[in-house]
Amino acid sequence: MNANTSRQNAAEGAEDAQLFDRTTRDLPPGRHQFHKERMMAQIHETQAEQRAAAKPAAPAKTRRFRLPRPAIALPVLAAGLAGVVAAGVAVYGGGAGLEDGGLAAGPALTTTVGTATTKGVPQLLDRIALAAAEGDQPTVKPGQYIYIESKTADTFLKTVDDKTTVAGHTLHTRQVWESPDGTKGWLIDPAVNDSPEGETLSLPDEQGNTPEAYLNAPSHDYLAKLTTDPDTLLAKIYKETEGRGNSPDQQAFTTIGDLLGESYPPAELYSALFKTAAKIPGVVVVDDAVDAVGRHGVAVARLDETSGQREEWIFDRKTHVFLGERTVQVNRTSGEGGLIKPGPVVSTSAIMNRAVVDGIEQNPSQAG
């Protein structure tokens, strides 16, 4: 019996509504297989609509191209909510699943949980910020596209015939193209696409909407206009993500992390993101972390106390270049999510190529 990849079930309470905020607002209809994406990329966001019921309803913000990390740490749901996302992993029911799209499920990914410390956090982030400022970030011209290629994998809860087990999706290549204004794009990812050729991310979406870019679904042009003052940027992040995630600090850390993976921020902003992260309480250093392709590095991380998962940004130990990110289950939680014992890698990704190209579906090697 095949697994079902549905991640867009409507929540029945405020907490459940929070869980699906990233899915319903950062991803287009019909493509809610993500987390984070956070692959479950992009479910870090929580829905504040019920919490803010007394406030005037804001227009929905859906940006088809915004594809955060393939897997994202989520709050733990109560046991029994099958077919939704629990503890940062997808709960699959019966029916057609990712296997039908060509990406087979296998054993859960596991790792040795590295030791975390608060010692040296400011110094490490200062070095990373300096390396980011000195990096060569090319200018993206109209008509060009930001190309990002990564290797990704994830762990999930798979339910077949009322039996839930821990499984994982194998390491695979993910390719994203995005125009600087965010209105055109393309995605190739077997964890999401039914077709190996991929699918368009261009706007308008299926409903004919062309939403404006915002912090959790930015375009390159939007990022180019963001403040680079760490205090001002952090205040903006807290304000715009208020009521989402498991805590304001965790959501702020996650928001910055989303910008590291599938975007190409200008050098000044890229550096400012790390200076901003240094101001978030609870940030730690993990001396040894491994990205999706086995590269060892040092990680800047933060533990989500609710989900028991630690989000890690991995950097080369010598050059401090960003290698990738992963989410590791560090503490066991209650409910159905308790099936994920400490050790599994909930999601992992490694940046293999980040470049500016002249056309959709064009690889850097084809340029020129």
Poorest-pLDDT segment among 125-134, 160-169, 233-242, 253-262: 160-169
Q: Where are the domains of the chain?
A: 14-366
Adjacent-strand bridge partners of 156: 167
At residue 338, the pLDDT reads: 60
Name the DSSP letter for residue 217: B
Q: How confident is the model at residue 165 (pLDDT cuts 50, 70, 90)?
A: confident
Residue 11 tokens, joined? 């929540």
**Average pLDDT for residues 153-177, to the nearest whole number?**
84
pLDDT interval class at 285 (50, 70, 90)? very high
Give the side-chain half-sphere CA count within 13 A for 68. 33
Residue indicated by tokens 């939704």: 84
How far from each other are the two terminal CA atoms of the chain, in whole angstroms? 48
Instruction: Say if residue 239 is exposed, middle or buried (CB neighbours under 10 Å; 0-12, 13-18, 19+).
Output: exposed
pLDDT digits (tens, 9 = 90+) for 77-135: 222 222 223 333 333 333 333 443 456 565 556 667 778 999 999 999 999 999 999 87
Task: Indicate yes or no: pTM above 0.75.
Answer: no
CA-only gyration radius of the chain, Å: 19
Please tell me whether residue 224 adopts helix, strand or coil conformation.
Answer: helix
Share of the chain above pLDDT 90, in %: 43
155: pLDDT confidence band, cut at 50, 70 and 90?
Answer: confident
Q: Angle 121-134/267-277 helices, nearest 10 degrees?
A: 180
